[in-house]
Structure 1
Amino acid sequence: MANGQPHIIVFANEKGGTGKSTTAVHTAIALAALGHSVGMIDLDPRQRTVTRYMENRAETMRRRGIALPMPDYTVLRGDTIDALEEETAMVGAGKDFLIIDTPGRDDVFARHIAAYANTLVTPMNDSFVDFDLIGQVDSETFKVKRLSFYADLMFETRKARAKVDGVSIDWVVLRNRVQHHDARNKKRVGEALMELSRRVGFRVIPGLSERVVFRELFPSGLTLLDKGHLGDLGISHIAARQELREMVAGFALPMVADSDAEPKDVA
């Protein structure tokens, strides 16, 4: 925690279905498992995916009589920017990390809170449908033609933040649901992302593959790090857990990047 303030990680993408809430929850639990104090705010009071996940986790702990790593969490309870800032200050007080999950749509609160991020994470599925959110490509060459509205918005947000307090927002594009069997599409999307990253200044890191286990874990609120409470794990589950560890390492977060620690399995 620098200067008494938490490191704020905002998960944001105006397109739904990119695994945003899943990666936000797993990141929060991974950091809590490392011993960090973690706060979490769900900015989607209508869908409440993160809130429901945490409620399911709390119920599993109560029902089984177990203790699991758990962030302090809340759902946005106001409808003004002032309410959002009050909630952020309250939940983030005394925390090492504050994780904020935003709705998968254009949202005034999501735009506002992005400017407060230290790390801004944009998960996207590995396809040109999702790529279109940040850039448009030529239909023949797949070269980037221009930035899309969202990339322009984040570029201006980062520039404004640097001008106000000198903080450089680390923008990370997370490649979720990479299709390993479609090597040509994977290569084309990867090349387009690298080209766009040089223009805009975001980093690209691998995220989580498409796996049924993530949907299966939601009702219990468990994560892939809760090894001792998941039963027998198959090879695909073990591979998914390694992906999670690599994803968290890829964020290069303070207090995590400066140590040799990595999220441990919960016995």
Structure 2
Amino acid sequence: MAHIIVVGNEKGGAGKSTVSMHVATALARMGHRANALDLDLRQRSFGRYAENRQLFMEQAGIDLPSAQYHALPELARDQPAETHDKARLSAALETLAPTSDFIVIDCPGAHTRLSQAAHSLADTLITPLNDSFIDFDLLANIDGDGQKIRGPSVYSEMVWSARQARAQAGQRAIDWVVLRNRVGSQQMVNKEKMRRAIDALAKRIGFRVVPGFNERVIFRELFPRGLTLLDLKDTGVKGLSISNIAARQELRDLIKSLNLPGVTVNF
């Protein structure tokens, strides 16, 4: 069966599409059959990223290892909106599963029926989180000095409900991974407070914390061409900068930390 990787939270600007593209491309480069879906039907950041990649390859006359991106199928609207959305997602997964080792699903930065359905199907859930207490509020409510956790947020409760539903259905548990993104290089008081708060919450509600990407200009430069850090040498970039080399190492560490079945990092 295909292993379903869902990249989701309910806040925009956390780097979900960047993470989705890099994870999907890394899997494809390592020889795995990777397919991808974008459930943000309005902004379609992941979808546009994939389209930019296809256009770049056509214009440059090169073929880069890539996950296969797919749009949700259109179905007849003969049922309520809630079941209609779930039916579209189910139809997509049913079609992709036989030809997939992994299916990467990028969710919108909002609570939608599609996003909720995807979370309940996740084998691995990746939640990118910017290194600030504004984004931490996505996971839990915290007191004024950032020391005491008052309780889980609506998003954490949604993930908990998805976990319960899978358990009742006899399915394997969701491996929930919170990815600390855009972490500053300097040791600051806020950074240390965030670390302590996330570690405490991880023990309380059951997720793993893994390192993500530091804030780097390269990610903004890659999107228009649909490229990832792994494509630079193949597109003629010679002598990678120290920053780019460090970013590749961050990606390598991320893929290793996900502990995906049958994946041995070889880039």
Same fold? TM cut 0.5: yes
Q: Give the Cα separation in 2 of the matches to 1:42 and 1:105.
A: 13
Q: Give the Cα separation in 1 of the matches to 2:153 and 2:202.
A: 13
Counterparts of 1:73-112 in structure 2, within 5 Å, are 73-78=69-74, 80-112=85-117
Is the contact between residue 180 and residue 186 of structure 1 (CA under 8 Å) also seen in structure 2? no
Counterparts of 1:30-179 in structure 2, within 5 Å, are 30-78=26-74, 80-140=85-145, 142-179=147-184
Q: Give the Cα separation in 2 of the matches to 1:15 and 1:263.
A: 32
Alignment TM-score, normalising by the size of structure 1: 0.92
Q: Give the Cα separation in 2 of the matches to 1:224 and 1:230.
A: 13
The aligned amino acid for 1:262 is: V
Is the contact between residue 73 and residue 91 of structure 2 (CA under 8 Å) also seen in structure 1? no
Counterparts of 1:225-264 in structure 2, within 5 Å, are 225-228=230-233, 229=235, 231-232=237-238, 233-256=240-263, 261-264=264-267
Q: Give the Cα separation in 2 of the matches to 1:112 and 1:118.
A: 13
**3-state DSSP of counterpart to 2:202:** helix
Deviates more, 1:46-55 or 1:110-119: 46-55
1:192 pairs, out of 185, 190, 197, with 197
Partner residue in 1 for 2:16: 20
The aligned amino acid for 2:176 is: W
Q: What do residues 118-151 of structure 1 show as CA deviations (whole Å, max 9, x unaligned)?
A: 0011111011000001111121352212111111
Identity of aligned residues (%): 45
Q: CA 1:134 to 1:67, structure 2 compared with 1: closer, same or farther past 3 Å? A: same
Alpha-carbon offset, residue 92 of structure 1: 2.8
Please, which runs of 5 or more residues in structure 2 have no aligned partner?
75-83
**3-state DSSP of counterpart to 2:178:** strand
**3-state DSSP of counterpart to 2:129:** strand
**3-state DSSP of counterpart to 1:210:** coil
**3-state DSSP of counterpart to 1:160:** helix
Is the contact between residue 44 and residue 76 of structure 1 (CA under 8 Å) also seen in structure 2? no
Aligned length: 256
The aligned amino acid for 1:126 is: D
**3-state DSSP of counterpart to 2:21:** helix
Alpha-carbon offset, residue 199 of structure 1: 1.1
Q: What do residues 43-82 of structure 1 show as CA deviations (whole Å, max 9, x unaligned)?
A: 1121111111111111221122211111111122446221
Q: Give the Cα separation in 2 of the matches to 1:230 and 1:14.
A: 37
Q: Give the Cα separation in 2 of the matches to 1:149 and 1:34.
A: 36
Dislocated runs of 4+, deviation >6 Å: none
Please, which runs of 5 or more residues in structure 1 have no aligned partner?
none
Alignment TM-score, normalising by the size of structure 2: 0.92
Q: CA RMSD in A?
A: 1.4
The aligned amino acid for 2:17 is: S
